Structure formats: structure tokens, C-alpha cells
């Protein structure tokens, strides 16, 4: 894999993301930067569903809420 012009690597604090970032960053001699903001989240009632129909509507509504600054909004049981 040939990587060019990479100056920073950001990673979620979860273990598998940190491990992957270390593998990628070792060849580049760049220290990965942890960002809690990109941590995965539990999708609650949407777990295991295809994102279509009602599940898609619920997810898009959640994203719109976040964009509008309502960061406390969650998927039911998420």
C-alpha cells in the first residue's frame, strides 16, 4: 500500500481502532491522535437492521438533530 502526503492519523479510543492506527502509523512514523469524538456508538433498536425504511428515517432524524446542535438525542435504547 503506497500512502502519500499523510501528516496526521486520527483514531477512535476503542482498542481495535487504536491497534489498526498503530499498524498504519508505524510505517509513516506518525503518532496516532486519539479523538473521543469519533468513538462508535450503540445503535439501540437499529442494531442488526438494514438502514432502509423506518430505520433509515430514524437514523436520518438523529443525524439532523446532531447537525442542529441537539447532541443529547439518541436512538431508542441506544
Q: What is the pLDDT of residues 42-66, one digit of tens each?
A: 788 888 888 888 888 888 998 899 8
Enumerate the domain spans of the chain.
Answer: 1-40, 42-78
CA-based nearest residue to 44, from 2, 78, 73, 10? 78
Using alpha carbons only, give the angle 75, 77, 78 rounded to the nearest 5 degrees. Answer: 55
Q: Per-residue pLDDT for 36 more than 90?
A: no
The per-residue pLDDT for 4 is 74
Block residue for cell numbers 469524538: 37
* The total number of residues written for the chain in this structure: 78
Mean pLDDT of 19-36: 90
Instruction: Report the candidate in 6, 13, 16, 10 with the shortest Cα–Cα distance to residue 32.
Output: 10
Amino acid at each position: 500500500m503506497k500512502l502519500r502526503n499523510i501528516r496526521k492519523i486520527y483514531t477512535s479510543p476503542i482498542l481495535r481502532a487504536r491497534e489498526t492506527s498503530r499498524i498504519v502509523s508505524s510505517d509513516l512514523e506518525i503518532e496516532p491522535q486519539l479523538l473521543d469524538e469519533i468513538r462508535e456508538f450503540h445503535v439501540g433498536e437499529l442494531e442488526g437492521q438494514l438502514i432502509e425504511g423506518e430505520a433509515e428515517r430514524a437514523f436520518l432524524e438523529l443525524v439532523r438533530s446532531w447537525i442542529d446542535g441537539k447532541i443529547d438525542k439518541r436512538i431508542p435504547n441506544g
